[in-house]
Structure formats: structure tokens, C-alpha cells
Amino acid sequence: MFDHKKVIVVMPAYNAAKTLKQTHAEVLAQGMVDLVILVDDASTDETTALAKTLPQTIVHTHVKNLGYGGNQKSCYRLALENGADIVVMVHPDYQYTPKLIPAMVSMIGNGLYPCVIGSRILGGRAIGGGMPLWKYIANRMLTLAENIMLNAKLSEYHTGYRAFSRELLESLPLNENSDDFVFDNQMLAQILWGGHTIAEVSCPTKYFAEASSINFRRSMKYGFGCLATSLEYRLARWGVSKSKRFPMSTRGKFARRATPERFPNANQRQPLVQGT
């Protein structure tokens, strides 16, 4: 708990058996996590079997692989169904340190921001932490293009370390997003579309053999998907085209609210994320 708010960590997992136990132990060591929900996206290793032995953990296994975005949809649905007030996504491959959970949770729990992301770019040590040079350059170029198109000033859009308020998750049409990796990018764009502020904390970069990483071909597909998302956002904002992902009814809805009253009514708890 944080200030009487239930904190749930969600882990979208795929073949994460080698690093799961270490990540999970460090998550619980932070002392404020009430529950861990792991969604195994039809792994071919022992991820599900191992996860079922871990304390304070609910395990959900997809019968077939739904993709990274499809996995997250299940994660957020299950977190809301289990009464989460604050949801933190931590990858079980130990690429992102769980030691930032208290900082991210406190920023949301104190009503300062509805979304906090762990940025590998802030601090200027991404390459020193092992990020390949081509990924760093692609990250910077995509981030620049997206900041222009989305009228934002984030240091990066491509981190998988994120925390959300319950009210924010309930306000997003997540089912309109892709089941692939670009889901992450579309979700941030939806948050900005609603007029929310996204906070960032500096996160150490860790690349090693067991950490998950998409290859060059899938990275190219992801990059073009990010650009397509930004274009869809911009066209919808100009009123040139309609978008279910960016509906006009929610455009800038929370932009003019005072900080303590930024979030929608917490009593209206009907998840927008459907079952898988």
C-alpha cells in the first residue's frame, strides 16, 4: 500500500524463466507492492511453472501468443479487476531495475502525475549502459519526430518501464491499440491526447544476454508504427480524419484541471480493457 492505495505490479512475460525470480524478489523488496500479476504470453520455457511458486503472485497464461500489446491488455485488465489503485509495469527480464518503484508510485500516489515512465535517456548514460548505437540513434530520431507531431517534450517514448493511476487506465481506449510492440507508443500518445502530463525519472540502462530485445527487422516495423501513430494523432487533432484511438470526445479532457483534481472520479471503476 501507498497512502491506502493498492499497488500492483504487472509483468508481461515471454520466455522469462532465467530472470523472473531475481526480478520478482527485487520487486517485493521495495516493500510497498501488494500484488504481482504475471501474464505469460504462451512461453515455451518454464515461465508459468516458476511464476506459480512465487509469493504474492497471480499467474495468467495465454493459450496462444497474443503479442506484447495483447499481453499488456490482459495485464491492465487483471490489475483493475484485482482492485489496483496504482499499476506499475515491470518487465521480468530484469532490464529495468525495480528499485525505482517507490519513486514512481509516490509521484502517482501523491496526486502529482497520472503516469510516470522510466527514461533510459535522462542522465546521458544509455550507450554506457549497453544500448546499441543504432538503437540509440533511432530512439533519438523517433523521439524528436514524435515530440514535434505530438507537441510534447519527452526524453523518450520507447521505454517499457511505466506506472499509471487507476483512473488513467480506465480512461484510455486500450482495445483500439495494436497487439504488437507499438502498443506502448500508442498508449503514450493516447495519454497526451487526453491532456495528461507524463512524468519521467532517470532509469539505468541494462543490456545483457538474458534481457529481451527485438531484432532489427522488428525494430524497423516498430519505428514505422510509431511514425504512423504520430501522423494519426496529428490528423485527428487537425480534424482531417476521425480516429477510434484518438476520439474527439476525450481530446484534452483533463488539460485544464488543477493538479489535485486532475484525475476522473475514482468511484467510477469500470475497466475499459476487455478480456482476452
DSSP β-bridge partners for residue 35 = 8
Model confidence at 112, pLDDT cuts 50, 70, 90, reads very high
Q: What is the mean pLDDT of the chain?
A: 91
Model confidence at 100, pLDDT cuts 50, 70, 90, reads very high
**Cα–Cα distance, 244 to 218 (Å, whole number):** 25
Q: Are 233 and 225 in contact (CB under 8 A)?
A: no
Long-range contacts, 106-113 (Cβ 8 Å, 24+): 106/2, 107/163, 107/199, 107/201, 108/163, 108/164, 108/165, 109/2, 109/3, 109/5, 109/7, 109/85, 110/3, 111/259, 111/260, 111/262, 111/263, 112/199, 112/259, 113/196, 113/197, 113/198, 113/199
Question: Is the pLDDT reported for residue 113 higher than 90?
Answer: yes
Could you give all domains of the chain from N- to C-terminal order, each with its CATH number? 7-259 (3.90.550.10)
**Cα–Cα distance, 246 to 226 (Å, whole number):** 15
Query: Residue 274 is placed in which grid cell?
Result: 476487455
Task: Please give the model's pTM, rounded to 2 decimal places.
Answer: 0.89
* pLDDT recorded at residue 272: 39
Half-sphere exposure of 240 (CA within 13 A, CB side): 7
* pLDDT recorded at residue 205: 79
* pLDDT recorded at residue 206: 79
DSSP letters for 204-258: -----TTS----HHHHHHHHHHHHHHHHHHHHHHHTSS--SSS-GGGTTTTTTS-
Question: Is the pLDDT reported for residue 274 higher than 80?
Answer: no
Average pLDDT rounded to a whole number, residues 143-167: 97
Question: Is the pLDDT reported for residue 142 higher than 70?
Answer: yes
* Residue where the block lists cell 523521439: 143
* pLDDT recorded at residue 107: 98
Model confidence at 8, pLDDT cuts 50, 70, 90, reads very high
Residues with Cβ < 8 Å from 54, sequence gap 6 or more?
20, 21, 24, 36, 38
Query: Residue 275 is placed in which grid cell?
Result: 478480456
* Tens digits of residue pLDDT in 181-226: 999 999 999 999 999 999 999 999 777 666 666 788 889 999 999 9
* pLDDT recorded at residue 128: 87
Question: Is the pLDDT reported for residue 255 higher than 80?
Answer: no
Half-sphere exposure of 126 (CA within 13 A, CB side): 21
* pLDDT recorded at residue 211: 64
* Tens digits of residue pLDDT in 62-74: 999 999 999 999 9
**Cα–Cα distance, 147 to 198 (Å, whole number):** 13
Average pLDDT rounded to a whole number, residues 84-113: 97
